[in-house]
Chain A
Amino acid sequence: MSRIKFTGITVAAVATALVLSACGGQSTEAGTDEDGGATGAVVADGSSTVAPLTEAAADAFRDVEPGINVTVATSGTGGGFAAFCAGETDISNASRSISDEEIATCEENGIEFTEIIMANDGLSVIVPLENDWAECLTVDQLATMWSPESEGSVTNWNQIDPSFPDVPLALFGAGTDSGTFDYFTDAVNGEEGAIRTDYSPSEDDNITIQGVTGEAGGVGFLGLSYVAENADVLRGVAIDGGAGCVEANVETVQDGTYTPLSRPLFIYVANTSYTENAAVKTFVDFYVAEAASIAEAAVFVPLTDEQIQVATDELASLAG
């Protein structure tokens, strides 16, 4: 490396470090602006699936407290916890519970946290109304339908179950960019991203709906909320996750019986951020209080009254 460049980098580094250390506490400061409104910053990172939920919360929150800056990054659930347990963020978005190793890291760094379920995520497997044979599918049958090994070989409904008629399969679903895709492939094929490539992916769920309803043998997967909106042309298939067939609807997603295609979505709040940073407390309180409308805005299944109560109680005990 050239001497000049090296010197330059050193200068830039020292300058950066000085500036940053001088203002390192910026994100934890809270106060009031001239108009008496609260000011401050809330830093959230984590799952890209949960990010739209926290973004919807931040969006609604801006109308109430315009002085508080809420930022959201998407390092993934794991990356989010890494930053969270290093004390770099106030809130970690997660599409799964924190793991034991992550808890250990948090403990090492003295980060105490509170887990709050903010919404429920459910996926539906959909078929057109004219499909009168597939009332219920087991997870194994779904895997036969969607696994990478089935590519090119499983092309007919009667290969899924001999009792099904001789109708060609037409597969539609979310494309690789979506959390829906990651979640479906993980739950059905046991590995995130593992899926046959001869299906029609789309980031637009309405195109998935058009595709499924356009063919007798059509089948697809998408977020639960789309099924109710299109009940006149398609229906959801009940899923047997090992304990019998369960219909996909808001209740079965909320009570967790619709497995494996439903899951809770979490946020993790750093306890010290909540108790010491008024901005974080105001935001999280708002988030929980408005959880139902926020979940709807972000197209997720809202919490049950019970879940909201649990969340409220957790916050109350945290506030002491």
Chain B
Amino acid sequence: MSSTITTSLGGHIRGATVRGRARGGDTSPKSILFLVALWFSLFVAFSFLIVLIVTTVIDGWPRFDLRLFTEYPAADPEEAGARPAILGSIWVIITTALLAIPLGVAAAVHMEEFADKKNWFNRIVELNIQNLAAVPSIVYGLLALAFLVLMGVQNRNIVIAGAFTLSLLILPVIIIATREALRAVPMEIRQGSLALGATELQTVMRQTLPASVPGIATGSILALSRALGEAAPLLLLGALVFVSFDPNGLLSGYTTMPIQIFNWVGRPQEGFAILASATSILLLGILLAMNALAIIIRNRYQQRW
């Protein structure tokens, strides 16, 4: 899941330039073979997605009903639902967004607009952020666990701790996306603003940043959809698998949809497997909707200079 999103993110950002060049009139056997290979890769990836969606929907449809949204987990699969997991996912993702997006955008603005790019320290930072985007999510779980233990935090399975972990996970992605978006703003805009007497800060706040909002929004939404699908780093923090109350704050215990699915899939009763599929339909639906939103924002608001 994570690699798909990272790739598609790269595609979103670089798509504009690649598209211009790929449509050549080259008809040599090599390039046709390459084109076939590309189409085959696309076909494999796409058919996996279709098979996944179709089988999940077939398995889970009988329980994709109101009970899934209103009921709490129970010993009897017929009476169980994913209400706390759905609410938990909402709490965690909104908190993650509030933590990660301002921090990530600020970091990117600093690196792109203010930092001295020839400075060795800044270059190391840049290299690290590029690499961090590819680090497996479980490593972020370990990092957050070690950090929270070091800080003496006992309740690691609360909303703010989970959001903190997921924020670490998606920060590099947001930073990279924001930097790409900022870089796409032509230098003339900045120079024009400065020439009219605006300060550097005013130039960033009134020209560069507003112009790159579509790119930032696209990157942030894709990053958040990655965070929404994560279970591993949260399980490492000792996330709860059974919550029978609605989360009601940052310090509240929580479970999320991926964790609930993970818990149900391990049960012997068939009813729980169906329930897990039903929850997966919901999760898949939300993820596809978020990705669609990202694409719409990109297509509608992206400026061509």
Contacts and interface: CB of A to CB of B under 8 A. Distances in A.
A, B in one complex: yes
Interface of A: 1-2, 4-5, 8-9, 12-13, 16-17, 19-20, 23-24, 26-27, 41, 43, 45, 48, 51-52, 54-56, 58-60, 62, 69-75, 79, 83, 86-88, 174, 177-178, 180, 203-206, 222-223, 294, 297-299
A48 B267 CA distance: 10
Given A13-B151, A71-B157, A73-B157, A4 B238 contact: no
Contacts of A75: 238
A219 B263 CA distance: 28
B227 to A, nearest CB: 15
Contacts of A69: 243-245, 253
B147 to A, nearest CB: 7
A223 B268 contact: yes
8 smallest beta-carbon distances between A and B, as pairs:
A72-B242, A56-B75, A2-B125, A297-B75, A177-B266, A55-B242, A8-B103, A71-B240
A48 B167 CA distance: 28
Interface in B212-237: none
Contacts of A60: 75
B266 A59 contact: no
A2 B107 contact: yes
Contacts of B167: 12
A13 B268 contact: no
Contacts of A206: 270
Interface string B179-208: 000000000000000000000000000000
Contact of A178 (B129, B160, B241, B266): B266
A48 B266 contact: yes
A5 B265 contact: no
A20 B251 contact: yes
B99 interface: yes
Interface residues of B, number: 49
B268 A55 contact: no
Given A45-B238, A55-B242, A297 B154 contact: no
9 contacts: A5-B125, A16-B161, A17-B153, A26-B251, A45-B238, A59-B72, A88-B154, A174-B268, A203-B266
Interface in B226-285: 238-245, 250-251, 253, 263, 265-270, 273
A71 B242 contact: yes
Contacts of B74: 59
Contact of A74 (B164, B241, B250): B241
Contacts of A71: 157, 240, 242-244, 253
Given A20-B251, A72-B240, A75-B238, A204 B155 contact: no
A281 B147 CA distance: 33
B171 A5 contact: yes
Contacts of A204: 268, 270, 273
Nearest to B242: A72
Contacts of B295: none
Interface of B: 72-76, 99, 103, 106-107, 110-111, 122, 125, 128-129, 147-148, 151-155, 157-158, 160-161, 164, 167-168, 171, 238-245, 250-251, 253, 263, 265-270, 273
B265 A55 contact: no
A9 B265 CA distance: 35
B241 A1 contact: no
A73 B147 contact: no
A73 B107 contact: no
A186 B30 CA distance: 55
Contacts of A297: 75-76
A16 B240 contact: no
Contact of B244 (A20, A62, A294): A62
B99 A83 contact: no
B213 to A, nearest CB: 20
Contact of A20 (B125, B153, B268): B153
Contact of A4 (B110, B147, B270): B110
A72 B157 CA distance: 11
Contacts of B76: 297
Nearest to B245: A69
Contacts of B266: 48, 177-178, 203
A23 B154 CA distance: 11
Given A48-B266, A203-B268, A59 B75 contact: yes
B155 A26 contact: yes
Contacts of A180: 268
A5 B109 CA distance: 12
Given A2-B125, A55-B241, 6 more contacts: A27-B155, A52-B75, A55-B73, A203-B268, A204-B270, A297-B75
B155 A20 contact: yes
A58 B157 CA distance: 18
Nearest to B167: A12
Nearest to B243: A71
Nearest to A177: B266
